[in-house]
Amino acid sequence: MEKTIHKQINETIYRETLSNGLEVMLVPKPELEQTYGVFTTNYGSIDNQFVPLGEKDMIKVPDGIAHFLEHKLFEKEDHDVFQEFTALGSSANAFTSFTKTAYLFSATSNIKKNTEILLDFVQDPYFSKASVEKEKGIISQEIQMYDDQADWRAFFGIIEAMYQNHPVKIDIAGTVESIQHITEEDLYTCYHTFYHPSNMTFCLVGAFDAEEMLAVIRENQANKSFEPAEDIKRDILIEPTHVDLVHHELKMPVVTEKCMIGIKETPTSNPTQFIKEELISEMILDYFYSKSGAYYQELYDLDLIDGSLGFETERQLSFAFSLIGANSTDVEMFKNVVLRQLDTFRTYSFSDIEFKRMKRKMIGGLMREMNSTSNIANSVSQYHMLGIDYFTLLPTLEAITKEDVESFMHQWIKSDNVASFFIKKATSDE
């Protein structure tokens, strides 16, 4: 077991790669009451074309199958896994993202038993034709519910405008039509390809003894057999750097119209560059568009927003984008003002005082995130799959210079990498 001490942030992480390939990461924090465990596979909604384990030919599976599989793993032949966690006084959940599927528990006691239940249920799939058909109805209702939510439609609307080929443009849950094609055989194919221990991580953060917990995990995994590990071959789509649609819109029965602005970016697989670009883009957006930001204030003073403005940046190995969006009384004017503001990024220069204030705020936010067991566990796992040690984010942030930020900012906005999307009010006859 490898032990790494990060003195700057007073964190210690233990790592071990088990013989079956599972990456185990333990972060003991005895001062906390709550312990959080997360079992993550490097498999998400965008992984819809791949070569199955033990085969040679690329296949395409129905959109939404990663999310469907997440739902089905909780259901066993004779019981529901949630009941096992509830009996221990703990809670369990799961989520599917574009690139990951994670299963988790939160508990204040019985950590060893909770860990064993989590590992066992994820590694013991049970799918039947009847249960798959039943789940289609449940997930169809979930999809229809999200289809009625303007915020969700705006989020995927702007992504669809930006991307031409990449499956990131497809809703994580798929469509009502696509999930009808999912079979139990498809689920087993995806499971055996992507749920091999060598494609997964287990991270535990909270009050426990690292040596004892590692012994529990080692024994649990040693009692199971798996096929030999293989490198997973995923289809790599060629995506242009420019946005697919400069503007698109949708009409819905909303009270207030919505506008989203998307910046399509070029992803990087270099871990150091990846972290820097992620931190810098978040820092810039927060500086200008948080409630204390000058550009937020301009939009507010123009009576274009109601306090709902939000922003985010999403970076993965095969795609990257940043979003700014809000409810607005005049979506066209909101779009034009934000586009003008973004255009200033091409030549913007920070004063030393501005830069120090911006960086200090970012450091404070990151340190607050590191006080959350759930955030640490999820972040340690997901950054690890990107080849990044989560606990290096703070020293990386502290090393970023004003010149780094301005260099990134000056080339961030181009003539062809920004798109807009509106949710407009539907009239009574639409």
CA of 284: how far to CAs of 16, 293, 343, 400, in Å? 36, 10, 13, 13
398, amino acid identity: E
pLDDT at 10: 86
The CA distance from 232 to 211, in Å, is 32
Q: Coil, helix or strand for 103?
A: strand
Confidence (pLDDT) at 428: 67
| Class (C level, CATH) for 247-425 | alpha beta
Residue 8 confidence (pLDDT): 83
State the span(s) of the chain assigned CATH 3.30.830.10.
Answer: 2-222, 247-425
At residue 121, the 3 state secondary structure works out as helix
What's the pLDDT at 54? 87
Question: Considering just the CA atoms, what is the radius of gyration of the chain in Å?
Answer: 23
Q: Are strands 11-17 and 247-252 parallel, antiparallel or unpaired?
A: unpaired
Please give the angle made by the CA atoms of 207, 210 and 215, to the nearest 5 degrees: 125
Residue 177 is among the residues annotated as catalytic for this protein: no
Instruction: Give the per-residue pLDDT at 249.
Output: 97
pLDDT digits (tens, 9 = 90+) for 253-291: 999 999 999 999 999 999 999 999 999 999 999 999 999
**Residue 200: per-residue pLDDT:** 98
CB atoms near residue 165 (< 10 Å): 11
Residues 85/117, Cβ–Cβ less than 8 Å: yes
Answer CATH for 2-222 from 3.30.420.590, 3.90.79.10, 3.30.830.10, 3.90.1170.40: 3.30.830.10
d(CA 68, CA 75): 12
Answer yes or no: are the C-beta atoms of 403 and 253 closer than 8 Å: no
Looking at residue 193, what is its pLDDT? 96
The span from the CA of 226 to the CA of 230, in Å, is: 11
Low-confidence ranges of the chain (pLDDT < 50): none
H-only helix segments in 253-372 = 271-289, 294-301, 331-343, 352-369
List the catalytic residue out of 23, 70, 265, 277: 70
